[in-house]
Amino acid sequence: MIKLHGIPLSPYYNKVKIALLEKGVNFQEVVTTPSQEDELLEKSPMGKIPYVEINGHPLAESTVILEWLEDAYPTASLLPPTPNGRALARELTAMLELYVMQPASPLIRHMLKGSKPDAAKCEDIRQALARGIGAVAKLAQFRPWLAGEDFSFADLSAAGVLPVVARLSQSFLGEDMTQRLEGCPDYLRRLGERPSVARVWTERDVSLAALMARRD
C-alpha cells in the first residue's frame, strides 16, 4: 500500500495523485501539511509535501516519486516511448514548475492571508510569469497533449500548475497569465475531461472552498 502525504491544494501533490490514478495504483491519502517538525523531517528531509510511504519506506520530491512509479509500474507509462519525447516531457515539467509555478508562489501566501502584494512586487511577478510562460510556449506541442501524442509527466505538472497560476494571476495581477499560452483553454478542457484530472480538480476545489470559508 502506498500512502500519499500532503494536501489537495498543492499542485505537486495533485501531480502525484493523478499519476497514481492513471496507473491504477492502490493508495491511501494522508492529510499532511509542510512542517519543520522532527517527525516529518525524518520522512521528507526538507519538510515538504508531497511525500509517499511505500510499504513504510518514505520518498520525497514529486518528480522523484513519479520516476519511482514509472519504474515500479511501467505499464500505463506516463512518458513517451522515444528518448527525445521523454526528454521533452521532463523539460516541460521543469519549465512549468521552475519558471511558472515558482514565480507565482509568493501570491499563495497573500491569498491565504487575504492580503495584497505591492504594485512593484506584482509587476516583478508578472514579468517572471510572462517569461516562464513564453518558454513553455516554445516547447508545447498540444498534439493533443503538452509533449505530443502521449499523456505524460508534462501534463501531470500542467494539471497541477496552470489552474493555480490562472487563479492567482487573475486575482492579484488582473490578468489570467496562462491565457498567454496559445491553445491553453482548449488544452485545459481536454485535461478536465480525463477522469483522473477531473477527480483531482474537484477534490482540490472542495478543499479550497473550505479553506476560504475558514479564512472569512
To the nearest whole number, what is the mean pLDDT of the chain? 96
pLDDT at position 216: 65
Percent share of the chain, pLDDT over 90: 94
Q: What is the largest CA-CA distance in the chain?
A: 50
53 and 149 assigned to the same domain = no
Asked, for residue 94, whether it belongs to a domain, the answer is yes
Asked, for residue 161, whether it belongs to a domain, the answer is yes
Domain end (from 72, 97, 116): 72
Question: What average pLDDT does range 96-122 have in this prediction?
Answer: 95
Asked, for residue 77, whether it belongs to a domain, the answer is no
Asked, for residue 35, whether it belongs to a domain, the answer is yes
15 and 36 assigned to the same domain = yes
* Total tally of structural domains belonging to the chain: 2
pLDDT at position 114: 87
Q: Is residue 34's pLDDT more than 70?
A: yes
Q: Is residue 211's pLDDT more than 90?
A: no
Q: Is residue 215's pLDDT more than 80?
A: no
115 and 184 assigned to the same domain = yes
**27-31 β-sheet, strand order:** 27-31, 2-6, 51-54, 57-60
182 and 91 assigned to the same domain = yes
* CATH of residue 55: 3.40.30.10
68 and 87 assigned to the same domain = no
Phi, psi of 85 (to 5 degrees): -65, -40
Q: Is residue 214's pLDDT more than 90?
A: no
Question: What average pLDDT does range 92-119 have in this prediction?
Answer: 95
132 and 162 assigned to the same domain = yes
User: Cell numbers at residue 58, please?
Assistant: 518514505
Asked, for residue 78, whether it belongs to a domain, the answer is no
Domain end (from 41, 72, 103): 72
Domain end (from 49, 72, 95): 72
67 and 128 assigned to the same domain = no
Asked, for residue 151, whether it belongs to a domain, the answer is yes
Q: pLDDT tens, 141-153? A: 999 999 999 999 9
Positive or negative, the CA dihedral 127, 147, 65, 193 is positive
pLDDT at position 150: 97
Buried b (16+ CB within 10 A) or exposed e, 191-208: beebebbeebbeebeeee
56 and 88 assigned to the same domain = no
Domain of residue 55, residue span: 2-72
Question: What average pLDDT does range 173-184 have in this prediction?
Answer: 96
Asked, for residue 164, whether it belongs to a domain, the answer is yes
Cell 516531457 belongs to which residue? 89
137 and 48 assigned to the same domain = no
> pLDDT band at residue 213, thresholds of 50, 70 and 90?
confident
107 and 193 assigned to the same domain = yes
Q: How far is CA 198 from the centre of its chain?
A: 14
pLDDT at position 3: 98
Cell 498534439 belongs to which residue? 143
90 and 182 assigned to the same domain = yes
Asked, for residue 44, whether it belongs to a domain, the answer is yes
Question: What average pLDDT does range 125-142 have in this prediction?
Answer: 97
148 and 195 assigned to the same domain = yes
